[in-house]
Amino acid sequence: MRITSSYQYERSVQTMQTLLGKLTDFQDQLSTLKQIQKPSDSPLDSALVMNWKAYGVQVDRWQNNIKEIENRYSYTEQNLTHVKDLMLNVRDLVIRGGGSDALGPDEKEAVSKQMVQQAEEMLSALNAKYGGRFVLANAEVTNPADPSWKPFKVVVDDGTGSYVFKDSISQAEEAVEQNHADGKTDSKWMVVFEPKEFSELSDSDKKTVSVEIGSHTTMPQVLAVEDYFTLKPITIDGNNYHTVDMFDKLYGFVNTLKNGGSLASADNTGKTGLDYTDEILDKLTDSIASIGARVQRLDTMTSFYNNVSTNVESLRSSYEDADLAKTYTEYTKFNTSYQSLLKVIASITPLSLVNYL
């Protein structure tokens, strides 16, 4: 069987076109550093890459949510620790001054004023904000109808069922003193929490805002106030509030001292002022420990997601990204074959009359 020059030429051209196509593919991979240029190059691998990219984006979102919650929890922990430190100051006042019968009326009143200042600072810490939201409150508040609204407020009860809100505990203390002077001996001040609901809330039962930190896993950005303090319901002017037991005890300390009493004496429940301060401190300590446990859980999840992100990125890269050294080697191999084929085509014997027989 005779192999004509025409046949050799046609086969060489076909091989050259194949090599040229390969060279073009490798040039594209070298320029884009991607081994998949379009889904049709490898439909299955393209589908896997898209799935891994989508999961990677999801993991990134979970990590961002965790970082935001960690920051909020850390700030919450700082504020609670500050409140605890202030309560430790109150405990010191109870031990050094409030519990001593040797103190005169002026000294006891001076101690009571120091307690009022500690309570004032506590109230300020409770109404602190982080990222436009109140830290120690149930609700997420971004644009409340009343910009001056605060979750924790101080209110004066004149003893007859009439309530007046005040801007500070110092103002409330002055109003109570005036009421006492006017014969309203049952008048007192208290700090109340308003469980106001907003449209942003996702859990109406706990009045907290939860975010996704994993597949079917959520965690509240703002923890419920009842997780920190003991609350008691109260109705003021037809609205629902909760008194904060910690401040009720502080008012009791202040009132006892101003009336010349001793905080070392047990009340009708058999507890002294020191017993109550220790109970409050235990509650705060438990709350801070609870937040610490949540932060530790978030740290563990962060480490886990970091490993997941690394593995997912490695899988995606192995299918989508080009191996530069391997791709360049393959490119060089096919380019050498292409150049050799060009020389072969150029040396093919010109067509003879036999080709037309």
**Do 210 and 353 lie in a common domain?**
no
Q: Which range marks the domain in which residue 347 is found?
A: 1-35+321-357
Q: Per the domain annotation, does 339 fall within a domain?
A: yes
What's the rounded Cα separation, in Å, for the pair 320 and 51? 12
Residues 5 and 61 in one domain: no
104 and 236 co-located in one domain? yes
159 and 224 fall within a common domain: yes
Does the residue 311 lie in any domain?
no
Model pLDDT, residue 200: 42
The answer to whether residue 302 sits within a structural domain is: no
Question: Which residue, chain included where needed, has tokens 């209110």?
Answer: 155
Residue 168: φ, ψ to 5°: -150, 165
Q: Which residues of 169-208 are buried (b: 16+ CB within 10 A; e: fewer)?
A: bbbbbebbeebbeeebeebbbbbbbbbbeeeebeeeebbb
| Closest by Cα among 145, 122, 159, 233 to 197 | 145
pTM: 0.74
CA distance 313 to 83: 44
One domain, residues 329 and 273: no
CA distance 67 to 249: 37
Same domain, 143 and 216: yes
Residues 14 and 79 in one domain: no
Buried b (16+ CB within 10 A) or exposed e, 105-141: eeebbebbebbbebbbbbbbbbbeebeebbbbbbbbb
The CATH number that applies at residue 267 is: 1.20.1330.10
Query: Is 332 found in the same domain as 285?
Result: no
Q: What is the DSSP string of 184-212?
A: -TT-EEEEEE-----TT-SBTTTTB-EEE
Same domain, 136 and 94: yes
Q: Are residues 229 and 329 in the same domain?
A: no
In a domain, 305, yes or no: no
Does some domain include residue 117?
A: yes
**Residue 217 counted as domain residue:** yes
Looking at residue 1, what is its pLDDT? Answer: 45
How many domains does one find in the chain? Answer: 2
Residues 209 and 241 in one domain: yes
Residue-by-residue pLDDT tens, the chain, 357 positions: 455 666 666 777 777 777 777 777 767 766 766 776 676 666 777 777 788 788 888 999 999 999 988 988 888 899 999 999 999 999 999 987 666 566 778 888 899 999 999 999 999 999 988 877 778 765 544 445 677 788 899 999 998 889 999 999 999 999 999 999 999 999 999 999 987 654 444 445 545 567 888 888 888 777 777 778 888 999 998 888 999 999 999 999 999 988 888 888 878 888 999 999 999 999 999 989 988 898 999 999 999 999 998 888 888 777 766 666 776 777 687 778 777 767 766 666 555 555 555
Whether residue 29 is found in the same domain as residue 59: no
Residue with tokens 């003021």: 236
